[in-house]
Amino acid sequence: MILVIDDDVELRSIVRGALEREGFAVDEAGDGDIALTKIATLAPELVVLDLCLPTIGGLDVLRAVAQRPENTPVILLTGLREETDKVVGLELGADDYIVKPFSPRELVARVRSVLRRSGSPRANAVHDFGDLRIDVKTREVFRRDVPIELRRREFDLLEFLCSAPQQVFSRDQLLVNVWHSAPEWQDGATVSEHVHRLRAKIEDDPSTPRWIVTVRGVGYRFEP
């Protein structure tokens, strides 16, 4: 179960709907007090946490989660002007962050990525796209039932993209979610090079890709 903590009722509804459509069980909390009660009683698999909360602030909720023995992963929801709180949140143990406004598909992709890194059973999935099959648990990829050998980062990139089909991700977003790095620390050309290598392995014609499509001036998307 995923616990969504935000005082914005409409945003909670949007996030809940997006996650439930992907098969996740979801509960909600609108302030810090309710959030702490539900964290203690429900033991969620993952927490989506807004930093700006009434009664008890988001950072205080995060501190409380970090002290629990379950090692519950947390994704922060931050505003454009909350850079300092975001950094503090990551230092306190948050697993990822997403800046408002965001697309529901991007959030779902972040949730899957964090669950995968945390070793959650929910991440043990098989993505089957006909000619292309990706087994998350065994980290195996097959094209027309023939195994394809991918390096670790190539697999991570492919699995992240295919977990949110048709969602466009910029190179900066991929650096954060796949490399767990910041754009100012690593060149976006790293992403381009890995996409080039990945296409050479999974595409029939890498010059006219079927699966990993370039969105000019923006980034890349996976076509199911």
Do 107 and 192 have their domain in common? Answer: no
In a shared domain, residues 105 and 87: yes
SS3 assignment, position 211: coil
Does residue 211 share a domain with residue 141? yes
pLDDT in tens, the chain (224 residues): 899 999 999 999 999 988 888 778 889 999 999 999 999 888 888 999 998 898 898 899 999 998 887 788 999 998 866 677 778 888 888 888 888 888 888 898 889 888 877 766 555 577 889 899 998 878 899 999 999 999 999 999 998 898 778 888 889 888 877 887 766 677 778 999 999 999 999 999 999 999 999 999 999 999 98
Shared domain check, 110 and 70: yes
CA distance 118 to 116: 5
Q: Both 129 and 97 in a single domain? A: no
Distance between terminal CA atoms of the chain? 27
Q: Which domain holds residue 184?
A: 124-222
Among residues 79, 95, 117, the one where a domain terminates is: 117
Domain shared by 100 and 147, yes or no: no
What residues have CB less than 8 Å from 136, skipping those under 6 apart? 116, 123, 124, 125, 126, 127, 159
Query: Which of 117, 134, 163 is a domain's end point?
Result: 117
Q: Are residues 54 and 131 in the same domain?
A: no
Query: Domain holding 101: CATH number?
Result: 3.40.50.2300
| 196 and 91 inside one domain | no
Q: Are residues 97 and 173 in the same domain?
A: no
Q: 64, 96, 117: which is the final residue of a domain?
A: 117
Look at the chain and report how many structural domains it folds into: 2
94 DSSP 8-state letter: -
The Cα-based distances of 53 to 5, 30, 49 in angstroms read 8, 8, 9
Q: Are residues 110 and 150 in the same domain?
A: no
pLDDT 10s digits, 170-209: 898 888 778 877 666 777 789 999 999 999 999 999 999 9
